[in-house]
Amino acid sequence: MRVGVFICHCGSNIAGTIDVAKVAAEMRKVPGVAFATNYMYTCSEPGQDEIKEAIKREKLNRIVVAACSPRMHELTFRRTIEKAGLNRYFLEMANIREHISWIGLDKEANTNKAIESVKMAVAKAMNNKPLYSQSFKVNKRVLVIGGGVAGMQAALDCADGGLEVILVEKSPSVGGMMARLDKTFPTIDCSICILGPKMVDVAQHDKIKLYAYSEVDDIKGYVGNYQIKIKKKATYVDWVKCTGCGACMEKCPAKNSYDHFNFGVAPTRAINIPFPQAIPKKAKIDPNYCRQFVKGKCGVCAKICPTGAINYEMQDEIITEDVGAIIVASGYGLVDMDKFPEYGAGRYPDVITGIQYERLLNASGPTEGHILRPSDKTEPKTVVFVSCAGSRDKSCGIPYCSNFCCMYIAKQAILTKDHIPDSQSYVFYMDIRSPGKGYDEFTRRAQEDYGAKYVRGRVSRIYPKGKKMVVVGADTLLGTQVEVEADLVVLATAVTAAPGAPQLAEKLHISYDTFGFYVEGHPKLRPVETNTAGVYLAGCAQGPKDIPASVGQGSAAASKVQALFSKDMLESDPAVAKVNENTCVGCLKCIMTCPFGAVKEKELRGGRIVANVIETVCAGCGVCTATCPCGAIQLSHFTDNQLLAEVNTICQK
């Protein structure tokens, strides 16, 4: 065995708090180590060349790189040693950066810890066996979850590239939040005018199969071969028959149904088409409000519908689709008003949220684009915008910035002036966050050309006084308390993860952060990938972002899928479980525990029963290995021998 050890400086990242030369020197004393050196930037091209040359020169057959996290560069170095003719699994990495040099300043302790960590890696590497991938066929269909602007962009880009797309949207129509917006910053173009055509393309593209009012129920499989169960929720209207004429909606007597699309700005009917541009434009019954469901009698819509589309007996339906990759674009939610007792917590009708205000501004909204305050339907002359309502607020459990509200507040202030020329807007803010192209100019314009008064300070309280809402805040630049007697108050409520985001992540086996946003592969270098092969992210599901960024990510995720699907065959990860048929006693405990159903019974010629792993199904978790009483089933690359070699290196009594 001839092990080569390469200790990386990572500039001063590692060398600053670890004596790398000493680590290399110590390694030269370890039995089996034929060569050890330290190098400035091992992952750089010359750094990799150095490894390749050393392999040839020193006839090395196992390589240990002590550098950053294997989550960062394991693949890089596997490729390097493969180019030099070694099996890629002959590589081991010791993480001396994230786990040592960055978390302690004591150089002596760090150096000592690094020496031991590298020794562990050497011990494991000496036990590494060559592993060979198998190739398998890719199913070149893609599932997109979420039909907001990000998901639609991803779906269209994939479909335009010739891929078959399954688009699953939870609500009755695609469009997401953008479909609710009036105009969009920083150009103030009409949201639905630019989104509408995309929605129609989605509906008409022959490569896109749209399941609206549906959710992903179950996901099985692995990159290249997923089996998806989709639950089509009962709409109580046969969408094949429904023409979207709207006759039912006009006659439905349940007039006080909650309008999810308009965020409750005005009520809707129990049977409704969410908005005029909805795709698909079909009616749906809300059983929480429909009298047929609540009281057991009505049936008006069934009588009125010219096509006989109403079906009160409809049940949820499960559909199966097979795909090879998944793009998650499930968007975001908004924090509830009841988080703000000091602002009235939803008790005062004239304190509304930003998204509700978008609906008031919108020509196809409940007020037909007239800004009327909810309490008495009069035109407000003084409008106060409160930024960071819940955002950047630890006491609300939301320490992060919601990213786009500064910009939409400026937009809404401008639009308010456009709608009501003799109105005055006030904006309470802590910081104006407008770093995009043309963005800062936009927020300046709101102040310079549209006269919005920006007040630097938080709002402490809002209370009613007569017909006015008194907004009590601070002007920290003046160092005073300030009050505005407003007609309408708009809260820029914090962006949260989409409802149900964690549950969806669990189905997908991807990680989510404390707040429910999905975690990308690397915050800078893999922004639309996840750590689960074949699953990609786009839009606000990953974190709050505006439309341009969401669209950008939709396209990026689509191009990642295109790249994945550019090959017909994928290589499997050979780090899977293997059964030693000689030692297996056929107890079948492994079959019971394998979470993926990857182990099956096999009858040997003599009639003896043993376990057998289906390589393409095995995900490589090693649960079976820890279960087997005989050590007969071993997870390659993480065998008992390999892990115990590491344990023994540090625990030698």
Partner 1 sequence: MDVINLTKSTDWNFIEEVSKESGQNPSLCYQCGNCTAGCPYTNYFDFPVSQIMRLLQSGQKDTILSSKAIWLCATCETCTTRCPCEIDVANVMDTLRIIARRENKVSEKDIKLFYDTFLASMKQHGRLFEVGTLMAYNLKSGHFFADAELGPKVMEKGKIHFFPNNIKGRDKVAKIFTRFQEKAKKHG
Partner 2 sequence: MSEIAPKELRIVGFLCNWCSYGGADTAGVSRFRQPTDLRIIRVPCSGRVDPLFIVKALLNGADGVLVSGCHPRDCHYTDGNFYARRRLEMLKQLLPYLGIDEKRFHYTWISASEGQRWQKTVTDFTNQIHKLGPLHSTTEAHSGS
Partner 3 sequence: MAEREYAYYSGCSLEGTAVEYDMSMKLVLEALDVNLKEPEDWSCCGSTPAHTVDHVLAAALAARNLSIIEKMGTDTVTVPCPSCLSAFKRAHLGMAGDASFKDQVNDLIDEPYNGGVISKSTLQIMYEDIGLEEVAKKVTHALPDLVVAPYYGCILTRPPEIAQFDDPENPVSMDKILEAVGVKVSSFVFKLECCGAAFGVPKRDMVNRLTAKVLSMALDSGANCIAVACPLCQQNLDLRQSQVNALMGTNYNIPILYFSQIVGLTYGLTPKELGIDKLIVSADDLIRSRITVEELAQNKAAAEAEEKARKAKQKEDKTKTEET
Ligand X SMILES: Cc1cc2nc3c(=O)[nH]c(=O)nc-3n(C[C@H](O)[C@H](O)[C@H](O)COP(=O)(O)OP(=O)(O)OC[C@H]3O[C@@H](n4cnc5c(N)ncnc54)[C@H](O)[C@@H]3O)c2cc1C
According to CB under 8 A, which residues from 34 to 73 bind partner 2? 69-71
Least separation in angstroms between CB 397 and partner 1: 10
Based on the shown chain and the rule CB under 6 A, indicate whether residue 171 belongs to the binding site for ligand X. Answer: yes
One-letter amino acid at 484 equals V
342 binds partner 3 (CB under 8 A): yes
3-state SS record for 298-309: CCHHHHHCCCCC
Among ligand X, partner 2, partner 3, none, partner that 342 touches (CB below 5 to 8 angstroms by kind): partner 3
Residues that bind partner 1 (CB under 8 A): 342, 392-396, 430, 456-461, 472-476, 479-482
The option from ligand X, ligand SF4, partner 2, none interacting with 478 (CB < 5 to 8 A, set by class) reads none
Alpha-carbon span 594 to 600, nearest angstrom:
10
DSSP state of 495: E
Task: Report d(CA 300, CA 294) in Å as an integer.
Answer: 14
Cβ nearer to partner 3, comparing 12 with 395: 395
Taking the complex as a whole, the smallest distance from the CB of residue 482 to partner 1 amounts, in Å, to: 8
State which amino acid sits at residue 513.
D
Residue 198 binding partner 2, by CB under 8 A: no
Q: Which of 619, 507, 569 is nearest to 168 (CA)?
A: 507
d(Cα 635, Cα 639) in Å, to the nearest integer?
A: 5
What is the closest distance, in whole angstroms, from the C-beta atom of residue 476 to partner 1 in the complex? 4
CB of 406 to partner 1, least distance (A): 14
**Distance (Å, rounded) from C-alpha 479 to C-alpha 481?**
7
Strands of 480-486's sheet in order across: 459-465, 468-475, 480-486
User: Least distance to ligand X from the beta carbon of 182, Å?
Assistant: 8
Chain Cα centroid distance, residue 399: 19
Of 163 and 543, the one with the shorter C-beta distance to ligand SF4 is 543
The CA-atom distances, in angstroms, between 570 and each of 76, 137, 418, 556 are 18, 6, 56, 21
Binding part of the chain for partner 2, among 90-98, 156-164, 173-181, 248-256 by CB under 8 A, reads 90-98
In the list partner 1, ligand SF4, partner 2, none, the entry touching 647 (Cβ below 5 to 8 angstroms by class) is partner 2
Interaction residues for partner 3, span 302-341 (CB under 8 A): 341
Q: Smallest distance from the beta carbon of 483 to partner 1, in angstroms?
A: 9
Q: Among partner 2, ligand X, ligand SF4, none, what binds residue 506 when CB lies within 5 to 8 Å by partner kind?
A: partner 2
User: Of all helices (H) and strands (E), which one includes residue 323?
Assistant: strand 317-323
Write down the least CB distance from residue 591 to ligand SF4, Å.
7
Binding positions for ligand X, 314-353, rule CB under 6 A: 329-332
Cα 228 from Cα 330, distance rounded (Å): 16
Q: If you ran DSSP here, which 8-state letter would residue 322 be given? A: E
Specify whether the CB–CB gap between 332 and 450 falls below 8 A: no
Q: How far is the CB of 569 from ligand SF4 (least distance, A)?
A: 21
540 binds, among partner 1, ligand X, partner 2, none (CB under 5 to 8 A by kind): ligand X
Joined together, the tokens standing for residue 619 give 């995900």
Residue 346 and residue 401 in contact, taking contact as beta carbons nearer than 8 Å: no
Site string for ligand X, 375-414 (x = CB under 6 A): -----------------------------x---x--x---
With beta carbons less than 8 A apart as the criterion, state whether 613 and 634 touch.
no
Q: How far is the CB of 92 from ligand SF4 (least distance, A)?
A: 14
Rg (C-alpha) for the chain, rounded Å, is: 30
Pairing state between β 535-537 and 468-475 = unpaired
Alpha carbons 150 and 330: distance in angstroms, whole number: 9
Total residue count of the chain as it appears in this document: 653
46 touching partner 3, by CB under 8 A: no
Comparing CA positions, the residue from 240, 267, 237, 241 lying closest to residue 255 is 267
Helix (H) / strand (E) element for 324: namely: none
Which among ligand SF4, partner 3, partner 1, none contacts residue 463 (Cβ within 5 to 8 A by kind)?
Answer: partner 3
Min. distance of Cβ 395 from partner 1 in angstroms? 5
For residue 407, which of 381, 380, 426, 435 has the smallest C-alpha distance?
A: 435
Select the binding partner of residue 644 from partner 2, partner 3, partner 1, none (C-beta < 5 to 8 A, by kind). partner 2
Q: Using CB distances below 5 to 8 A depending on partner kind, what does residue 25 bind out of partner 1, ligand SF4, partner 2, none?
A: none
Q: Are 202 and 155 in contact (CB under 8 A)?
A: yes
Nearest to 151 by CA among 211, 88, 75, 102: 211
Interface residue list for ligand X (CB under 6 A): 145-151, 168-171, 176-178, 181, 184-185, 215-216, 329-332, 354-355, 358, 404, 408, 411, 498, 500, 504, 524, 539-540, 545-548, 550
Interface residue list for partner 2 (CB under 8 A): 69-71, 95, 97-100, 102-106, 109-110, 112-113, 116-117, 120, 502, 505-506, 509, 511-514, 519, 531-532, 575, 593, 595-596, 619-623, 625-627, 635, 638, 640, 643-644, 646-648, 650-653
